[in-house]
Amino acid sequence: MRNDILILNAGSSSIKLTVFDHALKTRLSGVADAIGGAARLRIGEQMRALPMADHAGALREIFDALASHGVALNGLAAVGHRVVHGGATLTSPQRITPDIRAEIAACIPLAPLHNPHNLAAIDEVARLAPELPQFASFDTAFHASNPAVATHYALPPDLAQRGLRRYGFHGLSYSALVRNWPAVTTTPLPKRVLACHLGNGASLCAIRDGQSVATTMGYSPLAGLTMGTRCGDIDANAVLKLVEEQGLEATRALLNNGSGLLGLSGQSSDMRAVAENGSPRSVFTIEHFCYWVARHAGSMAAAMGGCDAIVFTGGIGENAVAVRAQIIAHLGWLGAEIDSARNTVSSARLHGDKARVGVWIIAADEEREIAHDVARLGTAFRDASMC
């Protein structure tokens, strides 16, 4: 009986994979890194350097490696994909059909660095196993509940109709956070949650009654917080000045790949490396990151009408002790306090007994969230086919 679900998360130069069993427990995980360069494939604990010129080639290596671990593509129940951008119409998980694939392709102008790679994975699976059901979960979908005043720029309506609006990202992480809250905290989900997904990409989300009502990323993942290599918010006229002086492509590369922690520190996009450096420039870089997280947190609290809990997730959020402490120190006005002993060991609960606002860590769980979507949609698909 086919029970296993394969989840693929295709990025610009990597493909993450996780195999879940019927109970959605992880059987196997891995990643193909540096696709198109000095590529490596890790499956479980095994790491090998392999030639992978493109995503299609990487997927062939992944499927061969999975087969050697007893996971054959034609023996799977389904494959689920993280798709970065679903636009204004793909606001819930979908079984991939020709029409849905066409809608994902239509969103390529909104996510030119991501959706083409997501489609490459979908197409290669379809080529190798055409009868295998595939499903897509969209990183933008969780924010479909944002009100119009939160998503519209102050532009003429015809520009919004052409897709120039705020979408928001990291939705699968936020959706998983809501799902996992009761198990991690043993408490009901509070009414107003400030969720902080802090990693190489970073954003905040205002979650009221379990739904997103505001988020810091916008038309693209460039907006909002200081990130690993992205600048976050910047005056549009400053961007136009850069385009005049440096040209469009150089400006695009600077804002997306040469700014953020890397640009400020002049050293690294990795928060650990910046913290270990200890130079005045590195200290300022961390202060800048924490300041803008806290400043945007005020905006999220305003969107929710207050704040009952703060949650950290993502690589920085889950592991950077000093960064969490500095952010919460900025947010004392919200009633947030952090227990230094709990913070030092990265306990799930970070606040003390007398804190008015709970502070928590909930590990990012995007792949399992996609697997939940696949299991639910797959069951509905099978039930419908039997009618």
Binding residues for substrate: 82
Position of tokens 């997904």? 197
Annotated binding site: 9, 16, 82, 197-201, 270-272, 315-319, 366
3-state secondary structure 196-244: EEECCCEEEEEEECCEEEEECCCCCCCCCCCCCCCCCCCCHHHHHHHHH
Phi-psi region of 247 (alpha: psi -120 to 50; beta: other; left: phi over 0): left
One-character DSSP codes across 16-57:
EEEEE-TTS-EEEEEEEESTTSS-EEEETTEEEE----SHHH
∠ at Cα 135 (170, 121), nearest 5°?
Answer: 80
Q: Are 371 and 172 in contact (CB under 8 A)?
A: no
54 catalytic? Reply is no
Provide the 10 A C-beta neighbour count for residue 125: 21
What is the rounded CA–CA span in Å between residue 272 and residue 281? 14
Provide the 10 A C-beta neighbour count for residue 33: 19
Among the listed residues 25, 23, 6, 24, the one whose alpha carbon sits nearest the alpha carbon of residue 15: 6
The runs of H, that is alpha helices, within the chain are 55-68, 98-106, 115-128, 148-151, 157-161, 171-185, 236-246, 248-257, 260-265, 271-277, 280-304, 314-319, 321-330, 340-344, 366-386
Looking at 4, 33, 139, 373, which residue is catalytic? 139
Annotated binding site for ATP: 16, 197-201, 270-272, 315-319
Please give the helix or strand (H or E) that residue 82 lies within, else none.
strand 78-83
Q: Are 86 and 104 in contact (CB under 8 A)?
A: yes
Q: What are phi and psi of 76, to 5 degrees?
A: -85, 155
Annotated binding site for Mg(2+): 9, 366
Residues assigned a catalytic role: 139
